[in-house]
Structure 1
């Protein structure tokens, strides 16, 4: 395992992040404690130090398991958790981005994780009811108190993230250093605005569902034996064709489809850190195998072409030859930038 700097900080995180939403059986699809520990050990023994959880995951069990697993070597690991989703059903202040829930949620997470600080705190989802100023001031205060070292944001429109970082910059507050978003060969819409914004701000991008909810593992090509149903939004003819292309590339190089899908992400941009999760030991072992392969330019092009999307306005408009001719007066090939 190699390491990357987290965003514009000096924090070193491993090139694959371990997602622990599957730690705990409360949701009916996760791993029990013994299996979770085996998955954690395999990842850690491979050199992984970057752990992703949330207050919400498996009703707090994910955090409790991680707290137990790392307590003997807490400072070795980069522990990332989240706030925003509810801890108590039906109570409006046990959910959301506002400062009261932020402080309450962080304090509860610290107890479950058996630690006195969180390396990276993610805002989990934007709630559209809390002002950007309130969020950024509250997060800055948590950093000043030493409860949180770095902040990051997940599942939020690009314009809000950009606004938040600029407000923080104006006030001398801590800025977001990371962005978390769904991104895979079957979900490339973040390429429209989220990824260019992250690149401009120097944010690390951790990608959830990098295997398209299992679509890119190839297991749905011949059967429906999996957690996706035929009615799932992911279960489309287009996505099945993408999965076939992934499998064909995997067969070419003697890798698994999962490894190819993960490596496509890793070769997209050095700022991208896939989140790998597992319910079974063999799944984490297979996922880690992506570190041993490399895709050729032709293979990357094949995967890109099979999954390409329309970037929409204004991106497609600005790429047109006529637009560029008007914009640069025929001199665009002469301008170095």
Structure 2
């Protein structure tokens, strides 16, 4: 794999990120420790160094497995990203949320499970709509100054909150968010309304989760294969089926897997993007790794964009209307009626 800079930083990470939400067998699914080790071996041998986990994944088992693995490997080779916010125990009312108390507690527990002295990238996992953003930023900056965290990032948060946070951090001299983790795929393009333009503006790398829409974009559900997806899921509705069929059509034309086409689409959207590829089997990861050899043509991108397009709403659609033209004298916009 090639390496990319993560956001506005000098941190070099692999062009794919290994998702480890499935490391552990709690809830009746997932990879045991031996299989998880084999997956991480495969990823590292392909040049992968960027690993994503969270304190909540498999009730902490994911972090424990990663900790066991890296304790017997070169810790400095790997870029470990984990998250705080969601509860990993029910001991007290502050054992969840974005607040500073939970942040500090969660980081200490993650460090123990990961068997490391520092976390490379710490994500706020999901916005709680309670904690002031300056409390979050100051807490993250303190952790970075203490050497327990190297970089701050954020996940599943409204664009206006992230924008306010990074602007405030720049003003105060605090560490800014360098990466934005969001659900993004051909079946979930609504982040294009606010989130991805905001990330591009601030130079943040987008790390899409569920880039294959829970496996729907591989076509396996159209083949009748079973999975953890619910029958009533929007990933299986008429629109999603139409999009998936187009992905399969292009994959057959190129002689690659549908999953590779769907993954590569997220990597060719005009902004820095490193999709998170989850795996509970070595074969799944091996297939996903093939995407690094694929480039989609403009024609293929156009076909995928058209079949999966979502309305941007106001002001996005307003900006894109053909009736809005640029005045050649000063770049002002003139509104003209269609006749």
User: Residues 56-109 of structure 1: CA distance to partner in whole angstroms, max 9, x if unpaired?
Assistant: 000111001111111231011101100000011373211000000000000000
Asked if the contact 2:234–2:240 (Cα under 8 Å) also holds between the matched residues in 1, the reply is: no
Provide the residue aligned with 1:38 in structure 2: 38
Paired positions, count: 332
User: Residues 1-56 of structure 1: CA distance to partner in whole angstroms, max 9, x if unpaired?
Assistant: 00000100000000000000010011322111111111111111000000000000
Asked if the contact 2:126–2:156 (Cα under 8 Å) also holds between the matched residues in 1, the reply is: yes
Instruction: Give runs of aligned pairs for residues 125-204 of structure 1, distance below 5 A.
Output: 125-204=126-205
Provide the residue aligned with 1:4 in structure 2: 4
The alignment's TM-score, normalised by the length of structure 1, stands at 0.95
Provide the residue aligned with 1:62 in structure 2: 62
What is the CA–CA distance in structure 2 between the aligned matches of 1:118 and 1:129, rounded to whole Å?
25
What is the CA–CA distance in structure 2 between the aligned matches of 1:136 and 1:228, rounded to whole Å?
36
What is the CA–CA distance in structure 2 between the aligned matches of 1:188 and 1:106, rounded to whole Å?
32
- Cα-Cα RMSD: 1.6
Instruction: Give runs of aligned pairs for residues 1-337 of structure 1, distance below 5 A.
Output: 1-71=1-71, 72-89=73-90, 91-223=92-224, 225-322=226-323, 324-325=324-325, 328-329=326-327
What is the CA–CA distance in structure 2 between the aligned matches of 1:139 and 1:151, rounded to whole Å?
6
What is the CA–CA distance in structure 2 between the aligned matches of 1:111 and 1:127, rounded to whole Å?
25
State the 4+ residue runs in structure 1 displaced beyond 3 angstroms. 328-335
* Structure 2: unaligned runs, 5 residues or longer: 334-339
* Structure 1: unaligned runs, 5 residues or longer: none
The alignment's TM-score, normalised by the length of structure 2, stands at 0.95
Deviation at 1:226, TM superposition (A): 2.1
Change (3 A) 1:189 1:90: farther
Deviation at 1:228, TM superposition (A): 1.8
What is the CA–CA distance in structure 2 between the aligned matches of 1:235 and 1:198, rounded to whole Å?
29
Deviation at 1:331, TM superposition (A): 5.5
Provide the residue aligned with 2:336 in structure 1: none
Describe the SS at the equivalent of 1:93: coil
User: Residues 279-329 of structure 1: CA distance to partner in whole angstroms, max 9, x if unpaired?
Assistant: 11111111001111211111111111110111111111122233x24xx44
What is the CA–CA distance in structure 2 between the aligned matches of 1:294 and 1:7, rounded to whole Å?
22
Deviation at 1:233, TM superposition (A): 2.5
What is the CA–CA distance in structure 2 between the aligned matches of 1:204 and 1:230, rounded to whole Å?
33
Asked if the contact 2:200–2:271 (Cα under 8 Å) also holds between the matched residues in 1, the reply is: no
